A and B are shown apart, each in its own frame.
Chain A
Amino acid sequence: MRAWYAFRYWLTVYARTWRGTIVISFANPMLFLLGIGLGLGHLVDHGHSTTLGGVSYTAFFAPGLLAASAMQTGFIEGGGRVANAAGAVGAYRTAVTTPLEPSEIMAGHLLFIAFRVLTSSAVFVAVMALFGVGTGWWVLAALPAALLTGLAFGAPAAAWAVGVRSIAKTQTLYRFVLMPMYLFSGTFFALSQLPSGIRLVASALPLSQGVALCRSLTLGTASAQTVAARAGYLLALVVVGIVVARITYRRRLHA
């Protein structure tokens, strides 16, 4: 399949440039896990709050951070990198002169986004296991949940970014939409603490669903219904992203 060639192109590029992603994809979540999870966790556990359902703050925070980092990676790869690739000197400009169709270019890039989310999440899950977070092997179940969360942002981001003319727009969106979501989707504190009106809005955010999914799987508190509902919500975002991207990629690349 030709999309595979497009994916291999991005892998080849990544083999040269992976060092540049270490900070955002690996160092960033690790540092938050240490600084907030352990450091601030020290204070939280000292306070003996019952809000977290009896788990340590690190155990509460880590799976939430896994989902939030997957979102960041998915958005950075699907937003900035796609906008760059679609630009006047970007990789898509070369790709369209080959037999690749726009939908194949898109599929290849989505495969790469999935690869990026999966590898960075896997490293983080390994670290979580080292920290003793999670109930046995359940922590592994958080990995597909993180992948789904990352793609739920990566695919719609790619659908939007392929038509964006200035990279600054992806940075603005990150700052004004992704960053607030990062801080208010139940990663740092429990959404149950919020007043009911705000709680309803906050739980509807895609990241809140990803956080809840990763957390319930990691801690072994998941039920079949909640997993199905949350995963269904995130999957719907991925599908919508892909359907729209098929249109926007064609519109931009075969204009």
Chain B
Amino acid sequence: MIASGWTLRRTGSLVERNARIYRRSLSPVLASLLEPVLYLVSIGFGVGRLVGKVPGIDVRYAAFVAPAILATTAMNAAFNQMTFVVFTRMKTDRTYDAIVPTPLSIADIALGEVVSAVLSSLLPSVGFVLVMLALGLVVSPGILLTIPAALLVGYAFGGAGLAVTTYLRDFSDFQLIQLVMLPMFLFATTFYPLSVYPGWARPVVEILPLYQSIQLLREPALGIFHWNIAVAVLYLAAVGSFGLALATRRLSRQLLA
């Protein structure tokens, strides 16, 4: 096949292009921080007053919710980048049509975009951790692990998002994405523990990539260190890699048609 393999240098040149655009202005980062911070204050503190302590976990409600919202922040930053932004580059801007004739392979393009997605989830995640710190929601040094964990979340949703984008037909399909992402946000134990669900529903929730992401961030953030986060790491790495491989395969067909 014409587009085979990737190299660090070629992939890096696409990451460099994207970085050039991100670093122009901080306002997209601030905008992507606004919504999670509002949720944290409204639900974490507002509804938190009504909740008191989370059953089975000895922390205040806001400290319980914050790492989960951090996970959704990393998820959204990477996922939106790989769906909305990449789709615009594919269909409206035709950015990749100009890159295909260069030495970059399709694998370089796909990997370069996913790496960019991971990097674009870094700043909002660090920003959110600082907000947590300012609001007194950091309860364990394990919080430091949440940053690399957020990058892994970015990788999982970046890869998955890029694969999803290769299936989109037009902008109205983003409604369908919403129809998956919103329930995941609401049901993946962001706002309450798994124990709220009846036994039969729990495995369904546990399969959600956002549930695994939340586990991966929440436990270290609350000072809980358990082997089950290894499951989350492997699961998210697999989701990201599968998405990336599928996206590369499908993009080869779409961009070289």
Q: Which residues of A contact B (CB under 8 A)?
A: 20, 22-23, 27-28, 31-32, 34-36, 39-40, 42-44, 46-47, 49, 51-52, 57, 175-176, 179-180, 183-184, 188-190, 193
Contact = CB atoms under 8 A, between A and B. Distances in A.
B223 interface: no
A49 B52 contact: yes
Interface residues of B, number: 30
**Which 8 residue pairs are nearest across A and B when measured between Cβ atoms?**
A35-B186, A189-B46, A183-B42, A47-B52, A49-B50, A44-B50, A23-B175, A42-B196
A189 B175 contact: no
A183 B182 contact: no
Interface string B47-58: 101111111000
Contact of A40 (B47, B49, B178, B183): B47
A35 B191 contact: yes
Interface in B171-185: 172, 175, 178-179, 182-183, 185
Contacts of A189: 42-43, 46-47, 49-50
A104 B17 CA distance: 50
Nearest to A181: B38
Contact of A32 (B52, B178, B186): B186
Contact of B34 (A23, A34, A176): A176
A66 B196 CA distance: 24
Contacts of A22: 175
A39 B175 contact: no
A175 B61 CA distance: 26
A80 to B, nearest CB: 13
Contacts of B196: 39, 42-43
Contacts of A175: 31, 34-35
Contacts of B178: 23
Contacts of B54: 43
A27 B38 CA distance: 22
B192 A43 contact: yes
B225 interface: no
Contacts of A183: 38-39, 41-43
Contacts of B182: 23, 27-28, 31
B186 A34 contact: yes
Contact of A39 (B35, B49, B55, B191): B191
B187 interface: yes
Contacts of B39: 183
Interface in B75-120: none
Contacts of A184: 38, 42, 46
Given A23-B175, A31-B186, 18 more contacts: A27-B179, A34-B186, A35-B185, A39-B187, A40-B43, A42-B192, A44-B47, A47-B50, A47-B52, A49-B49, A49-B50, A175-B31, A175-B35, A183-B38, A184-B38, A188-B46, A189-B43, A189-B49
23 contacts: A27-B179, A31-B186, A34-B187, A35-B186, A35-B187, A36-B43, A39-B186, A39-B196, A40-B47, A40-B51, A43-B55, A47-B52, A49-B49, A51-B49, A57-B50, A175-B31, A180-B38, A183-B38, A184-B38, A184-B42, A188-B42, A188-B47, A189-B50
A67 to B, nearest CB: 15
Given A31-B183, A180-B38, A188-B42, A44 B51 contact: yes
